[in-house]
Amino acid sequence: MTEVRPSRLQSFPISWFAVVMGMTGFTIAWHRAEGLLGISWKPSPILLGLTIIGFVALLMLYLAKVMKYPCAVKAEFAHPVKLNFFPTISIGLILLSIALLPYNGAVSLILWSIGATLHLGFTLYVLSAWLHQTHFEVAHINPAWFIPIVGNILVPIAGVQHASVEISWFFFSIGLVFWLVLLTIIFYRMFFHQPLPAKLLPTLFILIAPPAVGFISWFQLVGEVNAFGRVLYYVAIFLTLMLITQASRFLRLEFFLSWWAYSFPMAAMTIATFVMYEELQLVFFKGLGVLLLGLLTVLIAVLLGKTAQAVQRRAICIEE
More confident residue, 38 or 43: 43
CA distance 37 to 170: 34
What's the chain's average pLDDT?
A: 90
In tens, the pLDDT along 43-60 reads 999 999 999 999 999 999
Supply the pLDDT for residue 165.
96
* DSSP 3-state of 295: helix
| Banded pLDDT at 320 (limits 50, 70, 90) | low
Whether residue 318 has pLDDT greater than 90:
no
Whether residue 1 has pLDDT greater than 80:
no
DSSP annotation of 197 reads: P
CA distance 156 to 89: 17
The 8 Å CB, 24+ separation contacts for 173-182 are 174/123, 174/149, 175/149, 175/150, 175/151, 175/210, 175/214, 175/217, 176/214, 178/149, 178/150, 178/152, 179/146, 179/150, 179/153, 179/210, 179/211, 179/214, 182/145, 182/146, 182/149, 182/150
In tens, the pLDDT along 137-191 reads 787 888 988 999 888 999 999 999 999 999 999 999 999 999 999 999 999 988 8
Whether residue 83 has pLDDT greater than 90:
no
Tell me the average pLDDT across 249-258: 84
Tell me the average pLDDT across 66-78: 88
HSE, side-chain direction, 13 A CA sphere, residue 258:
21
Angle subtended by helix axes 263-280 and 283-312, to nearest 10: 160
Supply the pLDDT for residue 183.
92
More confident residue, 220 or 258: 220
Q: Which CATH number fits domain 14-311: 3.40.50.1820, 3.40.50.300, 1.10.3720.10, 1.50.10.150?
A: 1.50.10.150
Whether residue 4 has pLDDT greater than 50:
no
HSE, side-chain direction, 13 A CA sphere, residue 128:
7
CA distance 26 to 9: 27
Going by C-beta distance under 8 Å and a sequence separation of 6 or more, which residues neighbour residue 117?
A: none
Distances (CA, A) of 56 to 17, 106, 112, 280: 10, 19, 16, 38
Assign residue 41 a region (left: φ > 0; alpha: ψ between -120 and 50; beta: otherwise): beta
In tens, the pLDDT along 199-252 reads 888 999 999 999 999 999 999 999 999 999 999 999 999 999 999 998 888 888
Taking the whole predicted model, whether its pTM rises above 0.85 is answered as: yes
| Banded pLDDT at 319 (limits 50, 70, 90) | low
Distances (CA, A) of 245 to 18, 20, 200, 211, 238: 24, 27, 18, 19, 11
CA distance 77 to 73: 6
Whether residue 3 has pLDDT greater than 50:
no
Distances (CA, A) of 87 to 74, 104, 141, 145, 272: 15, 24, 16, 10, 23
Going by C-beta distance under 8 Å and a sequence separation of 6 or more, which residues neighbour residue 70?
A: none
Residue type for position 111: L
Q: Which of 19-33, 159-173, 243-257, 264-278 has the lowest mean pLDDT?
A: 243-257
Residue spans per domain, the chain: 14-311
Distances (CA, A) of 313 to 187, 188, 214, 276: 36, 38, 38, 42
> SS3 for 28-69, per residue?
HHHHHHHHHHCCCCCCHHHHHHHHHHHHHHHHHHHHHHHHHC
CA distance 224 to 118: 29
Burial tier of 304 (Cβ tally within 10 Å: 0-12, 13-18, 19+):
middle
